[in-house]
């Protein structure tokens, strides 16, 4: 069930109404989550049920065995379904149970459940009071398939309160509806519009240096609008159901360096990597060489989480190398943010090529074209003309301006504005625009990019 | 409660208006090239042809390519045409289907406009009026000519006909468009059962007209309209992308079986009767209006790969029969696909000429450029009398084209026409 679809809006609306009016709100949210995931099909649903049940059982295991069992159940299943071909270099038997598309959201709920068990072991969180509560924590539909990756201490207490009958007062309905509307605009108006252009640009080797950079730049924005749009819809839908989820993006393309980028892009994944991999492996302790090795390994794993392909591994490792290199620069030699922003953006967009290209060779060819060292002209005006180039350049600048504009939307001063307009007129306005966005005629559906993970 | 309902309604209305304004803003600015727009509704129901273009309609076409589309005041997908033909202008009436209608490209890049431009560059005052519409098979094109020719005062008719249309239900099914049906005595008559369709029957109903007006003029109303129909939206691979491999279906001799049955063996008999009847009606109409015509026959080209020899032979035979049908009626013909194929010079020209990397889809910009060259050649050939012997209606008629008098007896005009700037 896509977030940008009528069934999803209907599900959110129905669940919102039921939660507001009926008793047993925890069960209602669990039922809605089951309906949502049920759309993925019986195979994925059965697997998910089995994984939830197994994790629940593991949470009762002796503490010493618990983490190993959790790793076996979660990492083991993920590794088998997602990475076995990558690790063995083989191909799954056609028609076999495992030779199918990846179960929906498996990468997200795997990380969420591993974090639960680690936090349980560390005493940071308590065990869920019952299987329904645990299942709702894992399967909460606004965040299940695409994050944010929430920690038990963030979501579980809220879920427990739902089951206790606590109905949170929605002080700012406009906030939830506004986030859903904003997310739909990002996904439908921008991400889905950029998708065919990006597909076209990456379908063939670039004709010029400009072409190569244009492809990378547009993909960088496509994936941002796609992912952050979904995230906004999820956070907004959760708000309507009385659940507060953390934001996953904070205008990452306004960052001035790699560390800041990962504090703004897929924030919950960054924090998961930091808390459950980087720090346990030593973090920045033990000297520059050791910490660099840890950084590279952790970022490479983070890349691999996105997909079982060498390109993702290289993407992650390249990010690790970039972060490590910037660490070598003494503080007194660091450029001010407004200067370092542009070269940093060039690196970010160049690294996206590994994410988008079908293979390492294609990625390296594309990067070669971007470097200007492959003999391609700077511009190719035969097909599009200088006016077309101007339009493309303006489009790129406009995307950046939009992104900067989003920064102001997310400032806390906007809450005051939302409070002022909060009321039936605003609710109805946002709901109508959201529905019309979803009803816009479109060609082939562009699934959410991160569904693949 | 009433107050709450009123405020909710107000919010909804404001939402609709904001959405409407946003979509119109996208369409009115270069943003239409990338951001979502709602496909336009360009047609209106029509009692003679099934549907016609709505004069003044415009929008962004989103299937295979994004292109601005506008319909002129005469209801043609063309630049504005003076209904009173200026003195000294030679007007060509061009009919065809969606390939000639060319909604996929800006009108300035269509073969008709490019051909006009080339002819003007060669010193000819030739205007080409594009009467083409999607789906127009042979009889619909004739109906279109009957409807529009009196208003346009044409000097030459060029009709793009698909050879394969004669082997489909195009000429026999009148439920949506005019076709040939059998009356009680078994004779073929023109059937107009499509006139019983709700929209055609009630075309003058004020409520229907109001609904149509709302749908055609409101972006939001059209969103709701397209919920119940397949919107014409679809992506395409980059134009010019080579075919990914595999044999062309046109290479398979079985592909030609149905056409072979019809054109060489005149089977099924009912289908052949309709083909012959159309050729007669078409030539009778031309004769009545004293109009010369060229029927440009379109038949899928066969790649020049070694394994395609049998298919090439089939194609040649079928095309020969199709051309003979019209030649017997004194109507000149041309095999445009062959002309273009020779120019392109590739084993399989389809990926070069069509949107969609594997030869599917309508002509892309390159395709229109090549077909424009061929169309220009066809028109010039006709004007210089090369096709005069084939067209009984043309005999004795002298084209008023000052530039041609300069080249008669000198360089071959076709060669000159082929010398592009």
* Average pLDDT along chain B, 421 residues, taken 10 residues at a time: 90 97 94 91 90 93 89 95 90 96 93 92 92 94 95 95 93 93 93 91 90 93 88 53 48 83 93 96 94 93 80 90 93 90 78 67 88 92 65 36 33 30 22
- Cβ–Cβ contact B318 with A under 8 A: no
The pLDDT tens digits for A216-258 are 999 999 999 999 999 999 999 999 999 999 999 999 999 999 9
Q: How far apart are CA B239 and CA B257, in angstroms?
A: 31
pLDDT at A275: 92
ipTM score here?
0.88
pLDDT one-digit tens code per residue, A106-133: 888 888 999 999 999 988 899 999 999 9
> What pLDDT does A100 receive?
47
Instruction: Give me the residue from B15, B237, B357 closest to A428, CB to CB.
Output: B15
> Within the 120-159 window of chain B, which residues sit less than 8 Å (CB to CB) from chain A?
none
The residue among B53, B51, B55 whose CA lies nearest residue B80 is B55
pLDDT exceeds cutoff 50 at A290:
yes
B241 touches chain A (CB under 8 A): yes
From CA A163, how far away is CA A402, in angstroms rounded?
41
Q: Which residue of A222, A382, A432, A434 is the best one to mutate when testing the B interface, meaning the one whose CB has the most B CBs within 10 A?
A: A432
> Quick one: pLDDT at residue A390?
76
Task: Say which of B35, B39, B238 has its CB closest to residue A441.
Answer: B39
Chain-chain contact of B34 with A197 (C-beta, under 8 angstroms)? yes
Which residue in B129, B137, B123 sits closest to B155, CA to CA?
Answer: B129
Nearest to A391 among B30, B38, B223 (CB): B30
Q: And the tokens for B143?
A: 């109906």
Interface probe, candidates A393, A439, A440, A446, chain B, greatest B C-beta count within 10 A: A440
Contacts of B241 in chain A (CB under 8 A): 203-204
CB proximity B206 to A under 8 Å: no
Tokens standing for residue A391: 């339009």
Count of Cβ atoms closer than 10 Å to residue A42 Cβ: 8
> Chain A contact for B215, CB < 8 A?
no
E strand intervals along A131-195:
none
Mean predicted confidence (pLDDT) in A332-341: 81
pLDDT of residue B219: 95
Q: Give tens-digit pLDDT for A427-447.
A: 999 999 999 999 998 766 566
CB A299 within 8 A of CB A317: yes
What tokens does A90 get? 């083989």
* Active-site residue, selected from the candidate residues A117, A306, A344, A366: A306
Q: Is B310 on the interface with A (CB under 8 A)?
A: no
Q: Which of B4, B33, B36 sits opposite A424 (nearest CB)?
A: B4
B18 closest CB neighbour out of A199, A431, A433 = A433
Closest CA–CA distance from residue A198 to any residue of chain B (Å): 11
pLDDT tens, A53-112?
999 999 998 888 888 999 888 988 888 887 777 766 655 443 333 344 678 888 888 889
Identify the pLDDT of residue A218: 93
pLDDT > 60? residue A195: yes
Rounded distance between C-alpha atoms, residue B115 and residue B377, angstroms:
9
pLDDT for B263: 94
Q: Which has the closest alpha carbon to A198: A181, A210, A215?
A: A215
Give B357 or A12, the one with higher predicted confidence.
A12
- Active site annotation includes A442: no
pLDDT value at A23 more than 50: yes
A129 Cβ contact partners less than 8 Å away, ≥ 6 residues apart: A160, A163
Nearest to B397 by CA among B285, B262, B287, B275: B287
- Cα distance from B416 to chain A (closest Cα, Å)? 26
Strands B332-335 and B293-298: parallel
pLDDT at A161 over 90: yes
The confidence score (pLDDT) of residue A133 equals 95
pLDDT score at B262: 94
* pLDDT category of residue A450 using cuts at 50, 70 and 90: low
Q: Is the pLDDT of residue A299 over 70?
A: yes
CA B369 to chain A, closest CA, distance in angstroms equals 13
pLDDT over 90 for what percent of chain A? 53
* Comparison of pLDDT for A275 and B234, the residue scoring more: A275
Return the pLDDT at B400.
31
Buried-state track A162-190, b at ≥16 Cβ within 10 A, e below 16: bbeeeeeebeebbbbbbbbbbbbbbbbbb
Per the CB < 8 A criterion, the answer to whether A381 and A202 are in contact is no
pLDDT confidence of residue A444: 61
Using a CB-CB cut-off of 8 Å, the residues of chain B touching A431 are: 11-12, 15
- Please tell me the predicted confidence (pLDDT) of residue A167: 83
């Amino acid at each position: 069930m896509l977030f940008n679809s009528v069934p999803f809006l209907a599900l959110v609306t129905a669940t919102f109404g039921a939660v507001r009016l009926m008793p047993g709100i925890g069960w209602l949210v669990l039922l809605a989550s089951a309906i949502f995931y049920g759309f993925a099909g019986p195979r994925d649903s059965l697997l998910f049920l089995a994984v939830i049940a197994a994790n629940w059982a593991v949470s009762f295991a002796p503490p010493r065995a618990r983490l190993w069992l959790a790793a076996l159940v979660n990492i083991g299943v993920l590794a088998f379904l997602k990475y076995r071909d990558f690790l063995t270099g083989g191909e799954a038997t056609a028609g076999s149970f495992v030779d199918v598309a990846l179960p929906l959201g498996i990468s997200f709920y795997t990380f969420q459940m591993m974090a639960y068990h680690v936090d349980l072991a560390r005493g940071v969180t308590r065990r869920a009071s019952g299987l329904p509560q645990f299942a709702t924590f894992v399967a909460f539909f606004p965040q299940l398939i695409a994050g944010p990756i929430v920690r038990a201490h963030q979501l579980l207490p809220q879920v427990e309160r739902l089951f206790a009958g606590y109905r949170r007062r929605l002080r700012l309905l406009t906030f939830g509806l506004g986030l859903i509307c904003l997310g739909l605009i990002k996904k439908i108006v921008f991400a889905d519009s950029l998708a065919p252009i990006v597909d076209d640009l990456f379908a063939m080797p670039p004709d010029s240096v400009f072409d190569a950079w244009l492809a990378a730049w547009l993909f960088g924005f496509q994936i941002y609008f796609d992912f952050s749009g979904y995230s906004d819809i999820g956070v907004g839908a959760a708000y309507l159901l009385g659940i507060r989820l953390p934001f996953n993006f904070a205008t990452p393309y306004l960052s001035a360096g790699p560390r800041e980028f990962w504090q703004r892009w897929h924030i919950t994944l960054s924090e998961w990597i930091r808390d459950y991999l980087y720090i346990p492996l030593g973090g920045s302790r033990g000297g520059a060489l050791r910490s660099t090795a840890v950084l590279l390994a952790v970022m490479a794993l983070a890349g691999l989480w996105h997909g079982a392909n060498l390109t993702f591994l290289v993407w992650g490792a390249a990010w690790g190398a970039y972060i490590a290199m910037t660490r070598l620069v003494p503080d007194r030699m660091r450029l001010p943010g407004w200067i370092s922003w542009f070269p940093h953006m060039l690196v970010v967009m160049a690294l996206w090529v590994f994410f988008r290209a079908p293979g390492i060779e294609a990625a390296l060819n594309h990067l070669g074209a971007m470097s200007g060292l492959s003999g391609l002209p700077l511009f190719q005006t035969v097909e599009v003309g200088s006016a077309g180039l101007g339009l493309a350049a303006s489009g790129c600048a406009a995307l950046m301006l939009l992104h900067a504009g989003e920064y102001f939307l997310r400032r806390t001063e906007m809450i005051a504005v939302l409070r002022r307009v909060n009321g039936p007129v605003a609710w109805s306005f946002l709901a109508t625009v959201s529905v019309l966005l979803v009803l816009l005629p479109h060609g082939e559906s562009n699934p959410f990019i991160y569904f693949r993970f | 409660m009433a107050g709450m309902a009123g405020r909710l309604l107000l919010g909804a209305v404001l939402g609709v208006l904001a959405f409407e304004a946003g979509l119109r803003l996208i369409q009115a600015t270069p943003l239409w090239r990338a951001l979502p727009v709602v496909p336009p509704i360009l047609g209106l129901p029509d009692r003679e042809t099934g549907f016609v273009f709505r004069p003044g309609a415009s929008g962004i076409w989103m299937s295979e390519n994004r292109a601005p589309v506008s319909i002129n005041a005469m209801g043609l997908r063309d630049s504005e045409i003076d209904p009173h033909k200026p003195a000294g202008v030679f007007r060509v009436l061009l009919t065809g289907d969606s390939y000639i209608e060319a909604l996929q490209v800006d009108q300035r890049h269509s073969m008709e406009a490019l051909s006009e431009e080339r002819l003007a560059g060669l010193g000819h005052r030739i205007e080409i009026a594009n009467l083409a519409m999607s789906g127009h098979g042979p009889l619909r094109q004739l109906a279109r000519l009957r409807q529009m020719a009196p208003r346009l005062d044409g000097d030459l008719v060029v009709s793009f006909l698909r050879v394969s249309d004669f082997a489909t239900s195009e000429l026999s099914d009148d439920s949506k468009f005019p076709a040939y049906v059998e009356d009680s005595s078994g004779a073929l008559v023109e059937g107009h059962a499509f006139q019983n369709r709700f929209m055609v029957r009630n075309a003058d109903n004020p409520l229907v007209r109001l609904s149509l007006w709302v749908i055609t003029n409101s972006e939001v109303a059209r969103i709701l309209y397209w919920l119940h129909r397949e919107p014409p939206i679809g992506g395409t691979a980059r134009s010019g992308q080579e075919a990914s491999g595999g044999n062309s279906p046109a290479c398979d001799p079985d592909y030609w079986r149905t056409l072979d049955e019809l054109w060489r063996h005149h089977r099924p008999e009912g289908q052949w009767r309709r083909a012959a009847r159309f050729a007669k009606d078409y030539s009778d109409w031309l004769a009545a209006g004293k109009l010369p015509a060229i029927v440009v026959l379109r038949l899928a080209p066969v790649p020049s790969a070694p394994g395609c020899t049998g298919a090439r032979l089939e194609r040649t035979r079928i095309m020969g029969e199709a051309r003979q049908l019209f030649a017997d009626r004194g109507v000149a013909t041309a095999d445009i696909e062959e002309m273009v194929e020779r120019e392109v010079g590739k084993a399989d020209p389809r990926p070069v000429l069509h949107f969609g990397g594997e030869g599917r889809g309508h002509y892309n910009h390159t395709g229109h450029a090549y077909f424009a060259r061929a169309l220009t050649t066809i028109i010039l050939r006709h004007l210089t009398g090369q096709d005069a012997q084939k067209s009984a209606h043309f005999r004795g008629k002298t084209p008023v084209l000052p530039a041609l008098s300069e080249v008669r007896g000198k360089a071959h005009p076709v060669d000159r026409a082929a010398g592009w700037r």
